[in-house]
Amino acid sequence: MRKTIGILCLLTSLCWPGVCLATRIKDIAAISGVRDNQLVGYGLVVGLNGSGDSASTQFTVQSLVNMMERMGISVDRTAVKVSNVAAVMVTAQLPPFAKTGNGVDILVSSTGDAKSLAGGTLMMTPLKGADGQVYAVAQGPVMVGSLSFGGKAAKVQTNHPTVGRIPGGALVERQLPAVLPEGNELLYQLGEADFTTVSRFGAVVNEHFGAGTAVPQDGSSIKITIPAAFQADKVMFIAALEGLELQPDTQARIVMNERTGTIVVGADVRISTIAVSQGNLSLVIKESAEVSQPNPLAKGETVVVPKTSVKVTEDKSELVVLPNGVTIGEVSRALNAIGATPRDLIAIFQAIKAAGALHAELVVL
Q: What is the pLDDT of residue 155?
A: 64
Other CB atoms within a 10 A radius of the CB of residue 298 amount to 7
Mean pLDDT, residues 344-364 taken together: 81
Least confident of 79-83, 152-156, 329-333, 337-341: 152-156
| Cα(238)–Cα(110) distance, integer angstroms | 41
Buried b (16+ CB within 10 A) or exposed e, 136-159: bebbbebebebebeeeeeeeeeee
* 13 has a pLDDT exceeding 60: no
Query: Is residue 351 pLDDT above 90, yes or no?
Result: no
Higher pLDDT residue, 117 or 268? Answer: 117
What percent of the chain stands above pLDDT 90? Answer: 33
According to the model, what pLDDT value does residue 19 have? 44
The whole-number pLDDT of residue 169 equals 93
- Window from 30-39, 141-150, 203-212 with minimum mean pLDDT: 141-150
Q: Which CATH architecture has domain 21-33+180-246?
A: 2-Layer Sandwich (3.30)
β-bridge partners, 302: none
Question: Residue 34's pLDDT is what?
Answer: 83
Given a cut of 90, whether residue 152 has pLDDT beyond it is no
pLDDT at residue 237 in the model: 92
DSSP class of residue 111 equals -
Asked whether the whole model's pTM tops 0.85, one would answer: no
Average pLDDT (243-268) is: 84
Query: Which amino acid is located at 60 in the chain?
Result: T
pLDDT of 192 higher than 80: yes
C-alpha 102/C-alpha 264 separation (Å) is 38
Count of residues making up the chain: 365
Lowest mean pLDDT, pick from 106-120, 183-197, 238-252, 328-342? 328-342
Taking alpha carbons only, the member of 238, 265, 233, 272 closest to residue 250 is: 265
User: Are the C-beta atoms of residues 233 and 312 closer than 8 Å to each other?
Assistant: no
Band of residue 197 on the pLDDT scale cut at 50, 70, 90? very high
Alpha helices by DSSP H, listed for the chain, are 2-14, 58-70, 195-209, 234-242, 328-337, 342-354
CA angle 233, 35, 231 (to 5 degrees): 15
| Domain spans in the chain, listed from the N-terminal domain onward | 21-33+180-246, 37-172, 253-294+301-364
d(CA 219, CA 238): 21
Buried b (16+ CB within 10 A) or exposed e, 85-123: bbbbebebebbeebeeeeebebbbebbbebbbbbebebb
pLDDT above 90 for 106: yes
Residue 348 CB coordination number (10 Å):
19
Whether 17 shows a pLDDT value over 50: the answer reads no
Q: Note the pLDDT of residue 9.
A: 46
The rounded distance, in Å, linking the Cα atoms of 187 and 215 is 10
Percent of the chain with pLDDT over 70: 73
Q: What is the DSSP letter of 182?
A: S
Residue 251 backbone dihedrals phi, psi, to 5 degrees? -80, 140
Tell me which of 227 and 310 has the higher pLDDT: 227
Whether 113 shows a pLDDT value over 50: the answer reads yes
Instruction: Report helix angle 342-354 to 328-337, nearest 10.
Output: 120
Whether residue 275 contacts residue 358, with contact meaning beta carbons closer than 8 Å, is answered with: no
Pairing of strands 253-257, 361-364: parallel
AA identity, residue 204: V
Task: Give the confidence band of 184 by pLDDT, cuts at 50, 70, 90.
Answer: confident
pLDDT at residue 5 in the model: 45
pLDDT at 139: 95
Q: What's the CA gap between 308 and 331, in Å, rounded?
A: 43
| For residue 164, pLDDT beyond 60 | yes
pLDDT at 281 over 70: no
| Closest-CA residue to 111 (of 38, 70, 52, 157) | 52
Cβ–Cβ < 8 Å for 41, 90 = yes
The lowest-confidence range among 154-163, 183-192, 356-365 is 154-163
| pLDDT value for 182 | 80
- The winner for highest mean pLDDT among 177-186, 273-282, 287-296 is 177-186
What pLDDT was estimated at residue 3?
46
What are the backbone angles phi and psi of residue 37, rounded to the nearest 5°? -130, 140
- Estimate to the nearest angstrom the gap between the alpha carbon of 86 and the chain centroid: 25
